[in-house]
Chain A
């Protein structure tokens, strides 16, 4: 464990407006499982993409086996012994496992030899996989095995896993971890990207923690508590919360013992969630992605149906109302996924404004669309929220992520909702625009609306929310006043409260 396989020194990558990686130094030894830990947008993916040759660093050097290492494309990286398993697989659904693996190899052996080798490798690493099966019939976990085996057959020295557990069931995670331990025991180093603290504690022997592109610390996960790591990840100096007087308005939205299964097989089940939001209040919901955020938004917006009386609006049961009916009475939502969920990529901004604004802004009359009015509405959003685009006739897809985010949030805010639910309102937005969005949200509460802000950016939640609750494994902690919360307490709420028993798994 003393010899170094890969040494990254002062790697820097700058994108317009954001420093994705700022003088990152990491050293990886032979056979270790090294975690790169950080929140979304901390620069984890940028870092590994540089190692895999997908993007070129602006400054800094990499050394592998003590030699200079600067891969120009993935093929060079593969030849040098780097393998990578992506979060989203690139597989051919109609072809068999063996054919998929053959297609990803430079010089594949004859099919029969390959089939035998796949069987051998899958057996020796405890990854049950039949080479003759059609990939499209496999589960997500099995498809991931195909990619892992494709990497292993090339005998890599370094295996990069980018958030490998995000699509897996707990049982599949167990199998994967067993395999990864075995691979590392044979001398292959693994670079493991994740923000799931418990996984890293049970699997990794070293961790480098990134925050906003910088290395903010290293630790040995097995002897570091989840809380300490969360602190490092979040940063120990959270912005001072603005001194909001706690709102005393009437309860507008109340959720009682909400339990609901996710509509997607890999979603998180919501368990016994209870909270209420008053007029003029911002409830901030923190937590790491995939702990039920999407489901919570879907339940509140009306996309995901739950049993009656679980969601009440002004003491009226609204569980049986769909999204359009909820918009009518004033419950609006802005989902996280900008392209495809919050907007239709191929449609113009005007058309997208029509899609959620039709009811409340009275953009249609008995089924006849009033394009003139819609265009004016879209222009108002563009103006008020400083959306940088030549005009509302441009397709949503043509906007940059941050600009589209401003449009999507602005579209809901301008409809003067009584309750607005937003998920990741400033995700991928530059600092100035993020401040604008937050200000718009605060202005909305000043006019008496109730807000539920779901976010992974703790600084943001500290800044704008009156009450804070953490979502973990589909459970919501009891909301507490943001004022007086410190990092330690938040760390415990985020991963700690439920993870004390999980840490021993």
Chain B
């Protein structure tokens, strides 16, 4: 086991950075879906944002201008979606899928002459002495501005949805567009604005990949991040902070498993037993504190499992198997889904009008 090759502080900082593209795309899609629109074109908007940002950044020499162009590019593509679904009342699922395919093709065409070029580097924000604080300094401060922007958007989305009239109207439109229309709210206008916001966020997320994370342009370089963002919104029960948690979890575990792969870490078999014991203890204490009905049989099984865990641990003490790359690669998906599914066990559900076309005459 050679864990020493991994610097935990740099690892956490890298985890935050790795999560940002998913976070940006997911929070944008969250707003869109809360307004009752299902836009499956996130991947297409991301890659379009990635190529727009890349081209403008290379030509102007300024990554910031690149990011602005990426947001505009993503929004422009989503405007096409808004037109199709809100004006011509096309099916949202089909339009979204078409948007992804269109975005992938369009970006490949636009980026043809930019393959292999290095974009201008984004300078990390200077926070002076703050960055020098041990441990916290590198983790919290000294990131580039887009990461903070992503966090700001999450906080802003949460606050807007929860505390402002605009957010309330947006949720009302997503929940029951007929009732909202009857009360005099402009359903189509609100939805179009939400779609544009979602497109801009996806564009920013895409540009983060092409300008900072990789940084270079290759065809199809978003590699499914948009789809993950879509799934994340659902598993996060359409709640902004859960999207943040999910994105960090996913990005974080991706980063950890990459590090583990690089370090060639082996897996101690006995840790399975220890995990079982820990889970049993957690469940037992949870029940002791919160559960109303306390069944004796239940505790018997927990005890049985714990004892089995102890024997397992002792038996396999010291035994190790090398991590399989496949399992490592699958771990971010698994962990994120498990955690968010557990969290979404509450009553939260999809917006009532999600994916339904609205026409004033109906």
Q: In chain A, residues 77-136, which have Cβ atoms closer than 8 Å to a Cβ of chain B?
A: 90-95, 99, 102-104, 108, 111
- Once the chains bind, are A108 and B165 in contact (CB under 8 Å)? yes
State the CA gap A183–B85 with chains docked (Å): 46
Contact (Cβ within 8 A) B175 A94: yes
Q: Interface size class for chain B?
A: 10 to 19
- Contacts of B182 on A, CB cut-off 8 Å? 90
The closest CB in chain A to the CB of B181 belongs to A90
Check B176–A92 contact: CB distance below 8 A.
yes
CB of A92 within 8 A of CB of B165, answer no
When chains A and B are docked, how far (Å) is the Cα of A111 from the Cα of B167? 13
**Contacting residues, chain A, for B179 (C-beta < 8 A):** 90-92
Do B168 and A94 have beta carbons less than 8 Å apart?
no
Q: How far is the CA of A93 from the CA of B163 in the complex (A)?
A: 19
User: Is B351 engaged at the interface, CB distance under 8 Å to the other chain?
Assistant: yes
Collect the chain B residues with CB atoms within 8 Å of residue A94's CB: 171, 175, 349, 351-352
Query: Among the listed A75, A91, A92, A95, which residue makes an inter-chain contact with B184, where contact means beta carbons less than 8 Å apart?
Result: A75
- The answer to whether B168 and A93 have CB atoms under 8 Å apart is no
Interface string of B344-362 (1 = CB under 8 A from A): 0000010110000000000
Are B175 and A93 in contact (CB-based, < 8 A)?
yes
B165-201 at interface with A (beta carbon < 8 Å): 165, 168-169, 171-172, 175-176, 178-180, 182-185
Given A94-B351, A94-B352: A104 in contact with B183 (beta carbons within 8 A): yes
> How far, in angstroms, from A95 to B185 measured CA to CA in the complex?
16
Chain A: minimal CB distance from B90 (Å): 19
Q: Mark A68-80, 1 if CB is under 8 A from B, else 0.
A: 0000000100000
A103-B183, A104-B183 in contact; A95/B175 too (CB < 8 A)?
Answer: yes
**Whole-angstrom distance between the alpha carbons of A95 and B173 in the complex?**
11
Closest CB of chain B to A27's CB: distance in Å? 30
Chain B residues with CB under 8 Å of A90's CB are 176, 178-179, 182-183
- Tell me if B's interface is mostly helix, strand, loop or mixed: helix
- A95 CB to nearest B CB, Å: 6
Cα A168 to Cα B234 in complex, Å, equals 36
Nearest A residue to B168 via CB reads: A99
B40 to chain A, nearest CB (A): 22
Residues of A within 8 A of B183 (CB): 90, 103-104
Chain B residues lying within 8 Å of A99, measured Cβ to Cβ, are: 168, 171-172
Task: Say whether chain A's binding surface is mostly helix, strand, loop, or mixed.
Answer: loop
Question: In the bound complex, what is the Cα–Cα distance between A111 and B185 (angstroms)?
Answer: 19
Chain A residues near B171 (CB-CB < 8 A): 92, 94-95, 99
Q: Is the CB of A103 within 8 A of B176?
A: no
Among residues of A, the one whose C-beta sits closest to the C-beta of B178 is: A90
**Cα–Cα, bound, A90→B165 (Å):** 19
Closest B residue by C-beta to A102: B168
Interface residues of A in 226-266 (CB under 8 A from B): none
Could you tell me the distance in whole angstroms from the C-beta of B175 to the nearest C-beta in chain A? 4
A493 to B176, CA, bound (A): 44
Q: Which B residues are in CB contact (< 8 Å) with A108?
A: 165
Min CB gap B314→A, angstroms:
50
B163 and chain A: residue at smallest CB distance: A111
Chain A contacts of B176 at CB under 8 A?
90-93
A472-498 Cβ-contact flags toward B at 8 Å (1 or 0): 000000000000000000000000000
Cα separation A108 to B168 with both chains bound (whole Å): 12
How far does the Cβ of A428 sit from chain B's closest Cβ, in whole Å?
Answer: 21
The complex places the Cα of A114 from the Cα of B171 at a distance, in Å, of 19
Residues of B122-177 contacting chain A, CB below 8 A: 163, 165, 168-169, 171-172, 175-176
Measured CB to CB, the nearest residue on chain B to A137 is: B347
Given contacts A91-B179, A92-B179, A94-B175, contact A102 B351 (CB under 8 A): no
CB distance from A307 to the nearest CB of B (A): 35
Q: Give the docked Cα–Cα distance between A103 and B183 (Å).
A: 8
Q: Shortest distance in angstroms between B73's beta carbon and chain A's nearest beta carbon?
A: 33
- Complexed CA–CA distance, A133 and B172 (Å): 16
Known: A91-B179, A92-B176, A93-B175. A103 touches B349 (CB 8 A): no
Least CB distance from B238 to A in Å reads 10
Q: Given contacts A99-B168, A103-B172, A108-B165, is CB(A93)–CB(B184) below 8 Å?
A: no
Cα A99 to Cα B166 in complex, Å, equals 12
Q: Report the separation of the CA atoms of residues A103 and B171 in the bound assembly, to the nearest whole angstrom.
A: 11
Q: B169 — which chain A residues lie within 8 A by C-beta? A: 103
Task: Kindly provide the distance from the CB of A17 to the nearest chain B CB, expressed in whole angstroms.
Answer: 23
| Residues of chain A with a CB closer than 8 A to B349's CB | 94
CA distance A90 to B179 in the complex (A): 5
Chain A residue nearest in CB terms to B179: A90
* A48–B163 CA distance with the chains assembled, in angstroms: 37
* A21 vs chain B, min Cβ distance (A): 24
Partner of A102, one of B165, B178, B180, B185: B165
- Residue of B171, B175, B176, B352 contacting most chain A CB atoms (<10 Å): B175
> Given known contacts A102-B165, A104-B183, A108-B165, is B352 in contact with A93 (CB within 8 Å)?
yes
List A contacts of B185 (CB < 8 A). Answer: 103
Give CA–CA (A221, B180) in the complex, Å: 39
Pairs A-B, 3 closest by C-beta atoms: A90-B179, A92-B175, A94-B175
- Could you tell me which A residues sit within 8 Å of B by CB distance? 75, 90-95, 99, 102-104, 108, 111
Give 20 A-B contacts (CB < 8 Å), ordered by A residue: A75-B184, A90-B176, A90-B179, A91-B179, A92-B171, A92-B175, A93-B175, A93-B176, A94-B171, A95-B168, A95-B172, A99-B168, A99-B172, A102-B165, A103-B168, A103-B180, A103-B183, A104-B183, A108-B165, A111-B163
Given A93-B175, A104-B183, 5 other A-B residues pairs in contact with their CB atoms under 8 A: A90-B183, A92-B172, A92-B175, A95-B175, A111-B163
